[in-house]
Amino acid sequence: MDQPISSIPLVIIGGGPAGYTAAIYAARAGLDPVLYQGPNPGGQLTITGEVENYPGYKNGITGPAMMEDFQAQAERFGAIIKAGTITKVDFNTYPRRLTLDNGVTILAQAVIIAAGASAKWLGLPAEKKLYGKGVSACAICDGFFFKDKNVVVVGGGDTAAEESLYLANLCHKVHLLVRKDHMRASKIMQERVFKKANIQVWFQTEVKDIIGQEAVEAIEVIHATAITHIEAAGLFVAIGHQPNTLPFLPYIHVDHQGYIQTKPGTTQTNIPGVFAAGDIQDPHYRQAVTAAGTGCMAALDAERFLQQPHGHLQNAHNH
């Protein structure tokens, strides 16, 4: 199945807020976009709880429900939403060549990369061994397993704060480990954490090891140079994300943190007709609403690109 099966005006890679917003705009512009949802349809919002800060949802909405709304809105205008992950690309040819995880190759005249970012891990061997046996990166997915138990959360950002607060309502006690002497989380989230009686914040504390054979039993930490054990049945890692750029790296320029670089004020990458939107190109804001905003920009940029003649790209190396 390695023969190209179709040529599509616009392929959107990724089914999160950026991808769906691009699909809404592109479908309304008559570009007949096809969106591939990737390995986690709905993106990171499907592992979030309540979204309180997306304008328009005045009473808040759950992440998964919001993503269903986005998808339905894109489909209403004729966007084709497909399951499947782009695992390989060839941006030296035009139309651009994209290979799916099932081996099918498709051709696209324009591409919007909105593949998002994934949770980072600490990199300890025990983390892999005990993943799903107490180690998790999603409190909302797995928190229930730790009802009335003690858990540890690692990280000092909004995600760690949010996960700690969620777990504090379920668990007996939450130990939040912050490696610096301050948290990076927004003030309002920090205040909520500090107010919660069963959250203990440990500053200047890092995980050294995870103790347990079949399940997490305790976390070995270095706290202000001393080694201590915290008894806990769960370890929730909430230390940020890395952009999902792997299939694009041979062609697309990224910055020192691995985020796709775009021409300032646009979503244009270094490859003509290939645009980037959402968390994969945003090391700073990483909000659903900013992702949606850049998704809109990418659709408008792609529309402008598709209106121009681009036959000159056909035989060229396009860097």
Whether the upstream peptide bond of residue 55 has omega within 30° of 0, thus cis, is no
Distance linking the first and last C-alpha atoms of the chain: 28
Measured from the CB atom, the residue of 133 and 179 that comes closer to ligand NDP is 179
The Cβ of residue 140 has, within 10 Å, a number of other Cβ atoms equal to 19
Interacting positions 106-135 with ligand NDP (CB under 6 A): 122
Structural tokens at position 185: 């989380």
Strand pairing partners for 100? 86
- What is the nearest approach in angstroms of ligand NDP to the Cβ of residue 195? 16
Strand pairing partners for 88? 99
Residue from 101, 138, 171, 279 carrying the catalytic annotation: 138
With contact defined as beta carbons under 8 Å apart, do 61 and 138 qualify?
Answer: no
Of 276, 278, 286, 303, which lies in the binding site for ligand NDP, with binding defined by CB under 6 A? 286
Minimal CB distance residue for ligand NDP: 157
With contact defined as beta carbons under 8 Å apart, do 236 and 153 qualify?
Answer: yes
Interacting positions 174-213 with ligand NDP (CB under 6 A): 179-180, 184, 206
Distance CA 132, CA 207 (A): 18
- What is the nearest approach in angstroms of ligand NDP to the Cβ of residue 229? 18
Q: Annotated catalytic, 101?
A: no
Long-range contacts of 120-128 (CB under 8 A, 24+ apart): 120/237, 120/239, 120/240, 120/241, 120/242, 121/237, 121/239, 122/154, 122/207, 122/237, 122/239, 124/207, 124/209, 124/210, 126/209, 126/210, 126/211, 126/212, 127/210, 127/235, 127/237
Q: Annotated catalytic, 141?
A: yes
Residue 155 binds ligand NDP, judged by CB under 6 A: yes
Interacting positions 235-254 with ligand NDP (CB under 6 A): 239-241
Of 154, 252, 291, 302, which lies in the binding site for ligand NDP, with binding defined by CB under 6 A? 154
Measured from the CB atom, the residue of 160 and 235 that comes closer to ligand NDP is 160
Measured from the CB atom, the residue of 100 and 189 that comes closer to ligand NDP is 189
Measured from the CB atom, the residue of 201 and 274 that comes closer to ligand NDP is 201
Of 16, 157, 243, 293, which lies in the binding site for ligand NDP, with binding defined by CB under 6 A? 157
Distance CA 295, CA 276 (A): 8
Q: Annotated catalytic, 209?
A: no
Of 85, 99, 136, 159, which lies in the binding site for ligand NDP, with binding defined by CB under 6 A? 159
Sites of contact with ligand NDP (CB under 6 A) = 53, 122, 154-160, 162, 179-180, 184, 206, 239-241, 286
Active-site residues, by number, are 138, 141-142
